[in-house]
Amino acid sequence: MYERVENFQQQQAFESMWEHICKQNNWMNDPYDPQGIRYNLLLLQDKIFPFFHKKKIIGTIEFLRYNPESPYCTVEGPGKYCFSELKGIKQYQDRVWEIDKLCLSEKFQHKGYFTDFFHVFEDHILTYRPKFYIGLMEKRFFQMMQMKFGLAIESKAEMKGTGTSLMAVIFDVEKLMNDTKKVEALKKLAKT
């Protein structure tokens, strides 16, 4: 289950979860783009009467329209990969979105909850019709994403930092959505 962040309380909850994860992992917290599309991943605590219980946020994700000149761009710039030089990115720049602030609470990692993000991606894909998603991901996280999404996600470069390796990643959304068997398998994996 998920919610699109549309009000102050949802935004506060998003920030609380994301900033906790940043602090826990010693990550830099990039500024929030006012035009960003954000989602909170929710845990359905009572499947019979969900409206009686407070929502538990277990993850976050933010989508930003790709603009390498934007001060909110997190994937382009000094020490990062030059996505803007890729032919497909140049050709479809108006349909390219950055993935940022993607996290899942540590308590829910390795328990099958990551696949719940598929519903968030599906909502964003059906609403905004992206051609590509791009982002910088930790190497282990990229490898897990590649297992789930297959050949639709690929690494363009590895950037080694202090204590972590980030992968510059491009996700061909149309390639995934055209693979009906993969999409159906992902829907079955998703818990909600």
pTM: 0.87
d(CA 130, CA 134): 11
| Structural domains of the chain, with CATH | 2-189 (3.40.630.30)
Residues of the chain with pLDDT > 90, as a percent, come to 45
CB 69 within 8 A of CB 105: no
- Please spell the DSSP secondary structure of 112-137, one letter per residue: T-GGGHHHHHHHHHHHH--SEEEEEE
d(CA 149, CA 151): 7
Per-residue pLDDT tens digits for 86-136:
999 999 999 999 999 998 888 877 777 677 788 898 899 999 999 999 999
pLDDT at 154 over 50: yes
pLDDT for the residue 45: 64
Per-residue pLDDT tens digits for 5-14:
999 999 999 9
